[in-house]
Amino acid sequence: MVDFKPRDVQVAEIGVNTTVLRSRTWDRLKFEVEYARQKGTTANSYLIQGQSVALIDPPGESFTDLFLEELGHHVYYQRLNYIILSHVNPNRIATLKRLLEAAPYATVICSKPGANTLRSVFANQAFNIPSPREDEAQDLGIEYGANQTLKVHIVRDEEVLDLGNGHELQFRFVPTPRHPDAISTYDPASRILYTDKVFAAHVCDDSVFDEHWKTLDEDRRYYFDCIHAAQSPQVEAALEKLALFKAKIYAPGHGPIVRHSVSVLTLEYQGWCEQQQQKELRAVLLYTSAYGNTATLAQAIAKGITQSGVAVQTINCEFVSPEAITTAVQECDGFIIGTPTLAGHPPTQIQTALGIVLSTANQTKVAGVFGSFGWSGEAVDLVESKLQDAGYRLGFETIRVKFAPTEETLQQCETAGAEFARTLNRVKKVRAPRQMVTDAQSDRTSQAVGRVTGSLSVVTMRSGKNHYGFLTSWVSQAGFSPPALTISVAKEHIEESIAHIGDQFVLNILKEGRNVRRYFLKPPTPSENPFENVATSPASNGCLILTDALAYLECTVQNRMDCGDHWLLYAQVDNGKLLEATGVTAINHRKSASQY
């Protein structure tokens, strides 16, 4: 029999006039889509009762009824003056609306980006939020429903809210790419720092505080890797801001409240941030998100990259300057661009970022493209074609997602991130030492060499019972009698699978107009079968013939030469056949020598 534990709300006093309401679930976690521990979680809300009353972070809609019932036991709703949102999560809107029905005089406190999010998900009619100065607070009203107004106070950095009885709440902006509207709140009366996503963990148990903090090590690090690793520079900056408070307790949005390991956890976060930024290989992930779907894809890709040992910096292009994007692109080993499609085009911020990439990043950097769309995906195709035309090599097959991503899609994104990291490592490993030249000289030379064209072919080979194939255009005839050819093969692609004397393969020469090539764009792996979508027949040497090819040649390797990042193979043609006499050979035209 399954030991089923229902959801509940756990209540405890944690400071002077301060109560935590921990909305708990032992179910599989739903709202952090890329988080896979499945240990459940707590959504922590905090109630501070001075002369005025403030509630910090009501939970998501799955807890609405339970939470509001429990909250009503601890405060008279008419006395609730402020609802502080450390970040605006659309999942909280259902709870927020119900809360405002019971407490119609309450004012919502959030950052300016948070107010913009409230505008997009709360109001039924359009309105404009004026742009205050950075050092200026602002009050506004959002009309919604029938004769209802949401009162919002846009808080400024370092602003103080006096609740009375010594509770003078102090606010700090701590934005990250994932939560650009994030604020932290400090209460000097209790010396509690409300940190939201920082210092949190997804663990559901009966411990309100972290008295058994050593058992939380693995869960805390896993949370950091999933949520914060890809934005470690911003997290490090937030830690510096928060260190100005002499907090005795950290009150995060999830998991146990930190009282017994404040110093230890602070040092661990600083160390984890430093580890991320000291990694040898670095990727930068540039994106914007219209409805949150592209951001969700970005988080899953970033997770795959970080778990593969490569540092990644995620940048929401809506909230950073062009100068910051330029610096990130210049310093990275590879970049990935994620875009939604708005009216058939990428958003302006992505167009700006793409222009910076094309003018700043040399063609030795690995690239990637992904995006979500509603009815069409032209923006993803545009970014992909621009990068390919410029000569950038793609580290994974472009990801296009219609509407909201599924769990299967997010797993695909995580796998793509891991593949991108492996590509960065392979490129670094096989890159031959060369004389130092300027980027401009390298680009000019690359463009010239790229004008050497070749026929597109698929090389098929066999290892035991497994068949592999890869795309190439680096083939030349090398002899008449016996007929022979040379083929240059990237070491990273085949891992010497046909790089030995006596190895056999089939060279399938492709026909123009048939898009067989798309099944062989990625390097071969044992877990994937590119042949399941194409027609094949066995050759006499045991390898596969692509029956939609223009012609095929059965070959045996006679000699090889080590050429830096490639093997140059000399192979004798043992057999061959023209499969279609009237077809035209597919030719690969390149604009740069840095891609195939």
pLDDT at 489 (0 to 100): 86
The DSSP code sequence of 524-543 is: P-TT--GGGGS-EEE-TTSS
Confirm whether 438 is domain-assigned: no
Within the chain, which residues score under 50 in pLDDT? 1-4, 34, 124-135, 432-437
Residues 477 and 386 in one domain: no
pLDDT at 127 (0 to 100): 40
190 backbone φψ class: left, alpha, beta (φ>0; ψ -120 to 50): alpha
Residues 387 and 457 in one domain: no
Residues 418 and 468 in one domain: no
Residues 415 and 485 in one domain: no
Q: How far apart are CA 11 and CA 21, in angstroms?
A: 5
Tell me the CATH number at 522. Answer: 2.30.110.10
Tokens at residue 505, please? 């393969």
Confirm whether 493 is domain-assigned: yes
One-letter amino acid at 134 equals E
Residues 454 and 425 in one domain: no
* Residue 534 to residues 210, 315, 518, 537, Cα–Cα distance (Å): 57, 39, 11, 10
Residues 394 and 456 in one domain: no
Residues 127 and 157 in one domain: yes
* Residue range of the domain that includes 510: 449-588
Exposure string of 108-125, with b = 16+ CB inside 10 Å and e = fewer, is bbbbbbbbbbbbeebeee
User: Which of 141, 170, 198 is the last residue in one of the domains?
Assistant: 198
pLDDT at 240 (0 to 100): 93
pLDDT at 517 (0 to 100): 78
User: Which of 429, 458, 481 is the last residue in one of the domains?
Assistant: 429
Residues 397 and 294 in one domain: yes
CB 282 within 8 A of CB 314: no
User: Residue 442: which residues within 8 A CB-CB, separation 6 or more?
Assistant: 362, 363, 364
- Our count of domains for the chain comes to 3
Tell me the CATH number at 103. Answer: 3.60.15.10
Confirm whether 120 is domain-assigned: yes
Confirm whether 540 is domain-assigned: yes
The dihedrals phi and psi of 401, each to the nearest 5 degrees, come to: -125, 125
Residue among 37, 38, 6 at smallest CA distance from 23? 6
Confirm whether 230 is domain-assigned: no
Tokens at residue 117, please? 């999010």
User: 403-441: per-residue pLDDT in tens?
Assistant: 888 888 988 998 999 999 988 888 776 554 444 445 555
CB 458 within 8 A of CB 470: yes
H helices, E strands: number in the chain: 13, 30
Q: How far apart are CA 184 and CA 244, in angstroms?
A: 12
User: Which of 163, 181, 198 is the last residue in one of the domains?
Assistant: 198
Say how many C-beta atoms besides its own lie within 10 A of residue 361's C-beta. Answer: 21
Confirm whether 267 is domain-assigned: no
Count of alpha carbons within 13 Å of 412, Cβ hemisphere only? 14
Confirm whether 99 is domain-assigned: yes
Q: What is the DSSP letter of 199?
A: T
Residues 424 and 492 in one domain: no
The DSSP code sequence of 321-362 is: -HHHHHHHHHH-SEEEEE---BTTB--HHHHHHHHHHHHHS-
Tell me the CATH number at 384. Answer: 3.40.50.360
Residues 514 and 375 in one domain: no
Residues 104 and 151 in one domain: yes
Confirm whether 245 is domain-assigned: no
Residues 180 and 295 in one domain: no
